[in-house]
Amino acid sequence: MNSIGEECTELKKKYDDCFNSWFSERFLKGDHDDSVCAGIFKVYQDCVKNAMKQQNIDFKEIDKDVLGTEGEYKAPPSGSS
Amino acid sequence: MARYFENTSTFNFSWDQVTRGYWKRYPNPQSTHVLSEDTWSREVKDGCLYTKRVLTKTNRVPKWGERFFNAKSVKIIEESMLDPEKKVFVTYTRNLGYTKVMSVVERVEYRSAGPGLTVARRSAWIDSQVFGFSRAIRAFGVDRFKKNCNQMVSGFNHVLHSMFPRQVASQHSMTHTLKEMREAAAAATDRAKANVLSTVNRT
């Protein structure tokens, strides 16, 4: 899959590979130390944020958390939709 | 008032497999509308994995909708919370920008439903605040959403099947099906022959 910034796609792939093996082989097996991909994530992040800045994307709106907050939509009681 | 929609789908894969497949969902044959996918933030907190991703998707709208919504693509924010102990994975997505024209919020909860089975319960809220057109836009949004649901499930299944092929079980049922099909075809041929014969006999 491509990154939003063409120049970040290679970094994204490297990070995704790192994450996917960490997720399968460590996280799901109970090892929650996520430092192994931190280095590549930082480099990839810098690239993506730069690309998004150039596309005038609103960072504030992305940073806003909704899941797990008061703002999260709740399903109506079943049968009332 | 937002239109609410929900459905449930079952994946014939364990919860671990579904969550592993989730991050590799794109690209798949049904995802040509997904243009990009990036991880915005990710952290492990109290044993749970929190991820925020930004996706870009093409924006397919009918001709009449172009005057409100002429963007070629839209950005989607996907927040997720994954609890490996309870085996619960919740994704929550919303569109970035154009929310007055049409806002689509989707919440999906993936829960283990026994060995090799995962149930995804999907809720969606679709709203529009365009004066005079909100009803039509909401109706269009719900319709498009329903169609996309089926594509989403079949695309995800495609990825899961290629990641976790099941040799024994699927081959067995395939052989079974082929045998049934052959028998059904033979029976149909017999019936057709009998029909022809009876027609010939009549004339």
Is ipTM > 0.95 here? no
For residue A77, tell me if it sits in a domain: no
What's the whole-number mean pLDDT along residues B158-173?
Answer: 74
For residue A76, tell me if it sits in a domain: no
pLDDT digits (tens, 9 = 90+) for B115-136: 999 999 999 999 998 888 889 8
Query: Looking at CA atoms only, how far is residue A3 from chain B in angstroms?
Result: 5
pLDDT over 90 (residue B198): no
For residue A34, tell me if it sits in a domain: yes
Query: pLDDT-derived band of residue B193, with 50, 70 and 90 as boundaries?
Result: confident
Q: Is B146 on the interface with A (CB under 8 A)?
A: no
Contact B91/B80 with Cβ under 8 angstroms?
yes
Query: pLDDT-derived band of residue B81, with 50, 70 and 90 as boundaries?
Result: very high
Query: pLDDT-derived band of residue B194, with 50, 70 and 90 as boundaries?
Result: confident
pLDDT score, position B197 = 62
Neighbours of A23 (CB within 10 A): 21
Residue of chain B whose alpha carbon sits nearest to that of A49: B40
Domains in chain A: how many in total? 1
Contact B85/A27 with Cβ under 8 angstroms?
no
pLDDT over 70 (residue B52): yes
Determine the structural domain holding residue A25 and report its residue range: 6-56
Sort residue B63 into left (φ over 0), alpha (ψ -120 to 50) or beta. alpha
For residue A44, tell me if it sits in a domain: yes
Mean predicted lDDT score pLDDT of chain B: 87
For residue A29, tell me if it sits in a domain: yes
Q: End-to-end alpha-carbon separation of chain B, Å? A: 68
Among B29-33, B48-52, B181-185, the least confident range = B181-185
Residues 83-122 of B with CB under 8 A from A: 84, 90, 92, 94, 96-97, 105, 107
pLDDT over 80 (residue B19): yes
Cβ-Cβ contacts under 8 Å, A7 against chain B: none
What residue type is B89 in one-letter code?
F
pLDDT score, position A23 = 98
Q: What is the pTM of this model?
A: 0.83
For residue A74, tell me if it sits in a domain: no
What's the whole-number mean pLDDT along residues B148-158?
Answer: 91
pLDDT digits (tens, 9 = 90+) for A2-61: 999 999 999 999 999 999 999 999 999 999 999 999 999 999 999 999 999 999 888 999
CA angle, residues A49, A50, A56, in degrees to nearest 5 = 85
pLDDT score, position A81 = 46
For residue A26, tell me if it sits in a domain: yes
For residue A79, tell me if it sits in a domain: no
